[in-house]
Structure formats: C-alpha cells, structure tokens
Amino acid sequence: MEQHWTRAKGAFAAVFTPTVFWLFAFFLIPLGIVWAYSFGQNDGLVDIAITGTFKNYARVLEPLYLLIFVKSLWFAFLTTALCLLIGFPVALAITFASEKTKSWLLLLIMLPFWTNLLIRTYALMAVLRTEGYVNWGYHWLWDRASGLMQAAGMQPLGVFTPLELLHNNFAVVFGLVYVNLPFMVLPLYAALDRLDRSYLEASLDLGAGHLRTLMRVVVPLALPGIASGILITFIPALGSYLTPDMLGGPDSQMIASIIERQFKRANDWPFGAALSFMLMYLTFAAIAIQAVLNRRAPESR
Amino acid sequence: MAKRAPPGPLEYLRRWPLQAWIVGVTIFLYAPLISLMVFSFNDSKRNVVWKGFTLKYYGKALTDESLLTALGNSLTIAFVATIASLVLGALSAVLLWRFRFPGKTALDGALSLPIVVPEICMGVAMLVFFAKVLPWPTGLIWPLNLGSIIIAHISFCFPFVTVVVRARLASFNRELEEAAKDLGAGEWRTFKDILIPHMAPSLVAGALLAFTLSLDDFVITFFTAGPDTVTFPVKVYSMVRFSVTPEVNAASTILIVLTVLLTFIALRFQNPAKELG
C-alpha cells in the first residue's frame, strides 16, 4: 500500500525535492519559455516581445511550411508502414524460436540500435553515395553483362550511369527505416510473446492456413502491441533531424530541419518556437489517438 | 533425431521463407556497418575499391587532437550525466512508488514528457534556456565548460532510469521495509540496506541505458554545444557533412567495437543479477 506523504514528511521531501526541482528548472521551464515565445515577435536583434500574437502559428499554415509538414507526416507514415512490413515477420520468427536462438536474435536486432545513430547514418552514406558500394557492385555487374553480350555478338550496353541513391527522398525513407526498425520489432515481439499459443494451434487444427491464422487470430490479438510499435516508430521518425539532413536532398527537408534553421541561421525564434510546438502537438495527438484506440479495443472484442 | 523431424506447426523459424527474411534483414542492418569497419583498413583515399590493408587511418584518427578531445568530452559528459541520472531516476522512482500525494498523476505524466517530446523540441528549449535564462559562462576550465551539455543530458536521461527502476520496485515486498523499520532501522538505513540492494539490477540497467543515450545524442547536444565544447557525434557530423573520410571510418570502428564490448559486458552482468533477484 502506498504511503500518504504526510506520514513520512522527511523522507518525502528528500525524494520529492530533487526530482521536482530538476524537472521544473531544466525541462518544464525551458519548454515553457519556448511555448511563450511562440506567441511573441522579434523586438530588435536579440529581444523577443511576448505579445500574445497568433501570427507565428498562422505562418505555419502557409503553403510552403504546410507542405513540409505534410511531407514529414508522409515520410513518417511510409517509414512506419515499411518497418511494420519488415519487422512483423522478424518479430514472429523471434517469438517462436527456441530460448537460446531467441536471445541471439534479439541481440541481433538490438546491437545496431546500441550503435551511435550518427555512425549508422554515416555508414548508410558510404553505401548509397554515387561512388558507394551499391553503385560499385552495380557497375561491376554492368560491365560483366556488357562483356557477355559483346561475346554473344550483341550490342554492348551503353555507358554506365550510376544510380542516384543519396541526397533524395528515397535515401531519407531508406535511412529512417534503417534506424527505426528496432523500435518496431521490440514492441511487436513483446506483444506476440504474450499471445496464448493455444489459440493459434486451435486455428491451425481447425483447418485455417498459416496466412489466415495470422490475419484472423494473431493480428487482432496482438493489436495493442502493433499500435504501440507504430507509435514508437512514428514519433521519432516524424521529428527526425539527422537522417533527412545527412541523406536528404534540397527537397527532402522535414519539420526538424526548418525548426533548426529558424533557431540557428534565420534567427527567427518566435516562428521556430511555433513550429516546434506544432510538432509537439502532432506528437501528442498521435499519443492521444493511440490511448483512445487502446481504451476502446478491449470493449469491441 | 529431433533435427530431422519436419517443423512443427508453430516453429516458424524452421521454415525457409522466414529464414530467408531474417537473413535479408540481418544483411540490411549489418552490411553498412560491416563495410564501414572493413573499409577503415583500406589503403585508399576514395575508399571504394580495396587497395590493401593499412592501419594508417587509425594512426591519423588517434593522433587527431580535436577528435580525441571530442571523444573525451563525450565520455566525460556521459559519465557525469549517468551518475546524476541514476540518483534522480532512483529518487523519482521511489517517490512515485512509495508515496501518495496531491498532483501525483500530473508529476507522473510530466516525468514521461522528456521521453516522448521530439529531440529537436528539447534541443531548441535547451538552446533558448542557456541563451536567455542561464547563460553558461564561456571560457571555464574543463570539464566545467561542459556543464550546460551535462544538464541537458541529465534532463533527457533520468526519466528513462525512472521507468527502469520503477518497474523493478513493483516486485518489491513492502513488508521487508516494514520489518526493517520495526527492527529499529531509520529511513536512511532502510533505504540503503533494503531498498537499494533490491533496486541494484535495475540501477545497472538504467546506468547503461543513460550512458548509451548520452553518448548517442546528437540533436540536443548540437543545440547546447559551443565552439569549444564539441562532442564526438557533433565532431563526426562536421567531418562527414559533405563527404566520406577514412579517418571517420577508423574512429567509428573504434566506437562500434567499444559499444559492442560494453553491450556484451552488460549482458553478462545482467544475467546473474536476474537469477539472484
């Protein structure tokens, strides 16, 4: 039973004060200032007057910025969908593996996750760039194919043109899937591992195929886990800065890139503040939707 | 003989499509990292075609003053932030586990905010905070000049520790605490001798989590770091922004190997702890 705080005031103060102090001083107050700035305007070069204006939020709705928001949502959605598609079979395989294999497979998924995000993104740059390994392999195959065709008396292939894999939208989504995949696999695995296997066996015994069992039994039962996997992948993907910045091209900017620009180069903090709070509201909306769905899920069954 | 038997209905891992899928995903996850590590030994500036084995980029990376400083900064920040996060995380976990008090739900929600708030939002909040409210004096001696980064790191690391420790406390038998108090132990003694030993495995796990999160962070540090307080990710970022350089391959390889070693040590550490608890 939890203790009422008045019954041990000394101990309560000892654990309450540091936590609450730190949370307020170094997290809530900084966020609060940014929130206040989002209703302000630049006053001279360094000062910001908080005037209660909604002008900054109105600017967010301008087509230029709205388009970036839509694009970010689309990238995040695409990333989440791809992670789900790639991750679900992996989670399924881990769930039904033997104990020993299971821990090795989990380690296999987790190890890249423990590796520095910047290093992982950088490794992708080396793979995807014009003179990267993918293009190198492609060039090699191209030359061999060309040689073979010549030997067979046909026209050789034309001049090799490398694939443009880096600095475009493809690279951004590829990178986002690459860095976020573990986020998806782990909650999926946690959900699938809790399933009562007798339902699956019953379904298979009663003549349903594997695919049908999967769609009609496994997926509905694991739905809360799938939802949390989606949320856990979607949120970081939506707010990601490094991946679009390093792998993207001029037209693949996401919300975080324009926020960064307002604070560092454009020096328009009030507008940057409004942008970052729009991103926060989107994040909270995603969490709220999931909470509502979760609450409704048990009733509907 | 079991090996020869056809796969059971639920032994999905023994069916070839799923095995192929796992192999594919493994290649997808590991090929970029492994090629990065292999080519750090490649004796070629352009670094695509294998030209021969060399350690010269390791030599370059290990004598690069600014890279080493950045790595030292990163490790120092991670170390200090981990210790502070452990203390704050443990205290807040005990607070939420032990007491009933007005505003508890709100505090619980606020504590999970740093986990869900997008990094970029937290980064700009820290930038604004250290620019307007608490300007961190420049030109302080090392490691005091890292103070603002350390504070920012503690803010996003300690709620993760709270989650881990709180999960562990849920399995604590409160009667043990009462027994200790009945036998005359004070608050501090009970905390130190009864509660902390029970929390120990989660403290190890939380510390590793905080350390990795701090070492890994780029975005929040990018917004709080000054020109003379560069961390390893920020340094690498500035080096690779536009091109791929072999020194970075070497430095990255060192860090990857370090991370893998740490992970294995952590797993060794955690398994016996689990059996004890």
pLDDT in tens, A81-122: 999 999 999 998 898 888 888 888 988 888 888 888 889 998
Cβ contact A257:A194 at 8 Å:
no
**Residue A208, helix vs strand vs coil:** coil
Residue B29: CB partners within 8 Å, gap ≥ 6?
A: A108, A109, A112, A178, A181
Nearest to A30 among B92, B110, B125 (CB): B125
Give residue A94's domain range.
58-129+165-300
Of A139-143, B6-10, B175-179, B201-205, least confident by mean pLDDT is B6-10
The reply to whether A64 falls in a domain is: yes
Q: Which residues of B touch A28 (CB under 8 A)?
A: 110, 113
The reply to whether A31 falls in a domain is: no
CB within 8 Å: B256 and A23: no
B42-54 average pLDDT score: 75
Task: Give ∠ CA A194-A112-A175 in degrees, rounded to 5.
Answer: 100
Tokens of A57: 């939020």
CB within 8 Å: A112 and B33: yes
pLDDT: is B137 or A22 the higher one?
A22
**Residue A290, helix vs strand vs coil:** helix
E strand or H helix at A47: strand A47-50
Name the pairing type of β-strands A47-50 and B99-100: unpaired
Cβ contact B152:A26 at 8 Å:
yes
Q: Which residues of B touch A118 (CB under 8 A)?
A: 218, 233, 236-237
> What's the pLDDT score for residue A299?
47
Sign of CA dihedral A76, A79, A82, A88: negative
CA atoms within 13 A on the CB side of A23: 23
> What's the pLDDT score for residue B242?
63
Q: At what angle do helices B147-169 and B65-98 cross, to 10 degrees?
A: 40
Q: In whole numbers, what is the pLDDT of chain B averaged over residues?
A: 85
Tokens of A12: 């309560």
Residue B152, pLDDT > 90, answer yes
CATH classification for the domain delimited by B72-232, as one of 1.10.357.10, 3.30.420.10, 1.10.3720.10, 1.10.340.70: 1.10.3720.10
> What's the pLDDT score for residue A301?
42
Tokens of B128: 């604004």
Closest CA to A259 of A34, A27, A29: A34
Closest CA to A10 of B187, B241, B189, B101: B187
CB within 8 Å: B121 and A287: no
Q: State ipTM.
A: 0.85
CB within 8 Å: A269 and B94: no
> What's the pLDDT score for residue B60?
85
Cβ contact A191:A167 at 8 Å:
no
Residue B137 banded pLDDT, cuts 50, 70, 90 = confident
pLDDT by residue for chain A (301 residues), tens digit each?
A: 688 888 888 889 999 999 999 999 999 999 999 999 999 988 877 778 888 888 889 998 999 999 999 999 999 999 999 999 999 999 988 988 888 888 889 888 888 888 888 899 988 988 888 777 778 788 888 888 888 888 887 777 777 777 778 888 999 999 999 999 998 999 999 999 888 888 888 888 888 888 888 888 888 888 888 998 999 999 999 999 999 998 988 888 899 999 999 998 888 899 999 999 999 999 999 999 888 887 776 544 4
pTM, full prediction: 0.87
Cβ contact A238:A72 at 8 Å:
yes
A153: region left, alpha or beta (phi > 0 left; psi from -120 to 50 alpha): left
> What's the pLDDT score for residue A129?
80
Phi first, then psi, for residue A43 (nearest 5°) are -125, 95
Cβ contact B218:B123 at 8 Å:
no
> What's the pLDDT score for residue A86?
95
What are the residue ranges of helices labelled H in chain B? 16-39, 56-63, 65-98, 104-116, 119-128, 147-169, 174-182, 187-190, 196-216, 219-224, 232-240, 246-276
> What's the pLDDT score for residue B2?
45
> What's the pLDDT score for residue A147?
83
Residue numbers of B between 206 and 245 with CB closer than 8 Å to A: 212, 215-216, 218-219, 223, 232-233, 236-237, 240-241, 244
CA–CA dist B273, B277 (Å, integer): 6
Closest CA to B161 of B213, B197, B119, B105: B213
Residue B274, pLDDT > 50, answer no
Instruction: Name the domain count of chain A.
Output: 1
The reply to whether A264 falls in a domain is: yes
Residues in chain B: 277
> What's the pLDDT score for residue A256?
93
Tokens of B235: 């340094």
> What's the pLDDT score for residue B277?
33
> Nearest CA of chain B to the CA of A72: how many Å?
13
| Distance (Å) of CA A157 to CA A142, A145, A150, B74, B175 | 8, 8, 9, 51, 80
Name the pairing type of β-strands A47-50 and A40-43: antiparallel
**Residue B245, helix vs strand vs coil:** coil
Q: Domain with A70 in it: what CATH number?
A: 1.10.3720.10
The reply to whether A285 falls in a domain is: yes
Residue boundaries of the structural domains of chain B: 72-232
> Nearest CA of chain B to the CA of A177: how many Å?
10
